[in-house]
């Protein structure tokens, strides 16, 4: 277990604890993400990966510990939530596009409402971010008219439109079949290449290996092992060894 939270981090967690009722889900989690870094969180189901990610964007309140994101003290009760969320983009497994709005409206909604951007400018932006995820032609489609992979890419575009400083992804490909998964992964790879800071929870070991600068392996609410992507091939703890072993078995 390492603890590295230098002052230059864009996201840093220090000794974060969180319980649901009597269940301790996060039990002293610490890690940090540098600007431009891609961090992958892996671990068994129920190990607290999603909870850790949700704490970063304050969808859950922590019981103890310190979280600083782009200068916002997320653990403090009076953090400015809306300012925080302008700096952080989050994408969930279940897309959560707004079904009653077209893709364009999905994307322009937040820039217009939150940043008071002019509609024409927002539409321009929508075109740009959709191009980034390769979906220009779906501007006027409704979410249900898209395949799962397209919906997920649109959801990423929607987050991008707020020009966040850091993006959080929670198993964004696990509802997709292999072909669509590849689509979405290509988009994320491109973002990484463009220098976006990202934290992603993922089950796809191959993807984590190929894209992450650093891996955080969670086990029973703790950061059990952390290091560069190479730890996946040469794990130092038996738990990680078993985990990646299981991962191999699955395929």
Ligand X SMILES: Nc1ncnc2c1ncn2[C@@H]1O[C@H](COP(=O)(O)OP(=O)(O)OP(=O)(O)O)[C@@H](O)[C@H]1O
Closest approach of its own copies to the CB of residue 19, in Å? 20
Q: Are 41 and 197 in contact (CB under 8 A)?
A: no
> Which residue, 75 or 204, has its beta carbon nearer to its own copies?
204
143 binds, among its own copies, ligand X, Mg ion, none (CB under 5 to 8 A by kind): none
Size of residue set near its own copies by CB under 8 A:
15
109, 139, 175, 241: which one binds other proteins (CB under 8 A): 109
Find tokens 């590295």 and name the residue: 4
Whole-number Å distance between alpha carbons of 200 and 213: 11
Shorter beta-carbon distance to ligand X: residue 43 or 164: 43
Q: Count of CB atoms within 10 A of residue 213's CB?
A: 15
Cα–Cα distance, 32 to 7 (Å, whole number): 9
51 binds ligand X per the rule CB under 6 A = yes
In this structure, the number of other CB atoms found within 10 A of the CB of residue 120 comes to 9
162 counts as binding other proteins under rule CB under 8 A: yes
How deeply is 187 buried, as exposed, middle or buried, from its count of CB atoms within 10 A (0-12, 13-18, 19+)?
buried
Whether the Cβ atoms of residue 63 and residue 139 lie closer than 8 Å to each other: no
From 32-40, 42-50, 61-69, 179-187, give the range in contact with ligand X by CB under 6 A: 42-50
> Hey, what are 103's tokens?
């893709």
Query: In the set 2, 76, 121, 145, which binds other proteins (CB under 8 A)?
Result: 145
Under a CB-based contact definition with an 8 Å cutoff, are residues 217 and 226 in contact? yes
**Partner whose footprint covers residue 47, from ligand X, its own copies, other proteins, none (CB < 5 to 8 Å by kind):** ligand X
Instruction: For ligand X, give the closer residue by CB, 67 or 125.
Output: 67
d(Cα 213, Cα 229) in Å, to the nearest integer? Answer: 6
Q: Which of 121, 182, 195, 210 binds its own copies (CB under 8 A)?
A: 182
Site string for its own copies, 232-251 (x = CB under 8 A): --------------xxxxxx
Q: Which does 92 bind (CB under 5 to 8 A by kind): Mg ion, its own copies, other proteins, none?
A: other proteins
Size of the chain in residues: 251
**Contact footprint for ligand X (CB under 6 A):** 20, 23, 25, 43, 45-51
């Amino acid at each position: 277990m390492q603890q590295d939270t230098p002052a230059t981090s864009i996201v840093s967690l220090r000794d974060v604890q969180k319980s649901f009722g009597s269940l301790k889900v996060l039990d002293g989690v610490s890690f940090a993400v540098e600007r431009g870094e891609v961090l992958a969180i892996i671990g068994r189901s129920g190990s607290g990966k999603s909870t850790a990610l949700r704490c970063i964007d304050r969808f859950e309140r922590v019981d103890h510990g310190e979280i600083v994101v782009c200068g916002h003290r997320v653990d403090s009760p009076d953090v400015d939530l809306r300012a925080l969320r302008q700096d952080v983009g989050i994408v969930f497994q279940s897309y959560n596009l707004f079904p009653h709005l077209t893709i364009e409206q999905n994307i322009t909604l937040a820039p217009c409402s939150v940043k008071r951007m002019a509609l024409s400018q927002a539409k321009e932006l929508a075109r740009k971010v959709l191009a980034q995820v390769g979906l220009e032609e779906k501007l006027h489609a409704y979410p249900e008219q898209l395949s799962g992979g397209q919906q997920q890419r649109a959801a990423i575009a929607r987050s991008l439109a707020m020009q966040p400083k850091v993006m959080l992804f929670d198993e964004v490909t696990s509802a997709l079949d292999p072909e669509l998964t590849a689509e979405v992964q290509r988009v994320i790879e491109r973002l990484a290449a463009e220098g976006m800071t990202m934290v992603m929870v993922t089950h796809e070991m191959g993807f984590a290996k190929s894209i992450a600068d650093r891996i955080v392996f969670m086990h029973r609410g703790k950061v059990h092992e952390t290091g560069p992507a190479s730890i996946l091939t040469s794990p130092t703890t038996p738990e990680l060894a078993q985990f990646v072993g299981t991962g191999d078995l699955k395929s």
